[in-house]
Amino acid sequence: DAGVIQSPRHEVTEMGQEVTLRCKPISGHDYLFWYRQTMMRGLELLIYFNNNVPIDDSGMPEDRFSAKMPNASFSTLKIQPSEPRDSAVYFCASRPGTDMNTEAFFGQGTRLTVV
Amino acid sequence: DQQVKQNSPSLSVQEGRISILNCDYTNSMFDYFLWYKKYPAEGPTFLISISSIKDKNEDGRFTVFLNKSAKHLSLHIVPSQPGDSAVYFCAALYTGNQFYFGTGTSLTVIP
């Protein structure tokens, strides 16, 4: 397996534009997580899914952020409209559901810059 | 509210010496703890973990210690190598729930 795949690796957009980040989890993994890395808060959980169902989205900063998981192999994180303070590295991670205590596997991240 | 805290943003250690990275948590429900290592422009990668039923887990040069009464865990790297220079995140979860991460400690191993 190629691991968790995120695209794009880098995204530069203008304030007010819509941004969509994409993630392909590891095949067979039941859990998918979206994190944002900031200096102040480290790896901040935005939302996570179990079997394609959103379980906890309390970390989504505001209504401008939305996430979907239409099937087991694909998830998107959308920001509309984007703002400069959204600039960060966004990570997607997945883990199996068979063992409740196991590590999550991370993608390489998407570095978002909103100008 | 940060449930997992890494109070040292950075640490510098001479090559060959011991590196000790610390992590504190507030939620007594946490039952599984992990350390991740992150290089620039890469995603975090799993390093080592420990269950709450243990107080020590060792894997080669890496050892994690858990003190449940103090709600504290630490990662020891012996001997430290320049390739260990990275950001280290500790994480915690309970009953297979979401992972809670600390803010990270940037380790620099000086040759």
Write out pLDDT tens, residues B9-47.
999 999 999 999 999 999 999 999 999 999 998 999 999
Contact: B99, A104; criterion CB under 8 Å: yes
Judge whether A65 is closer than 8 Å to chain B, CB to CB: no
Structure tokens that stand for A44 in this block: 């901040």
Per-residue pLDDT tens digits for B19-29: 999 999 999 99
pLDDT (mean) for B62-90: 97
Judge whether B1 is closer than 8 Å to chain A, CB to CB: no
Structure tokens that stand for B45 in this block: 């990668």
Exposed, middle or buried: residue B97 (CB in 10 Å: 0-12, 13-18, 19+)?
Answer: middle
Structure tokens that stand for A2 in this block: 């190629």
Contact: A42, B104; criterion CB under 8 Å: yes
- Neighbour count for residue A74 (Cβ, 10 Å): 14
Judge whether A56 is closer than 8 Å to chain B, CB to CB: yes
Residue B96 pLDDT more than 70? no
pLDDT (mean) for A77-104: 90
The Cα B41–Cα B56 span in angstroms is 31
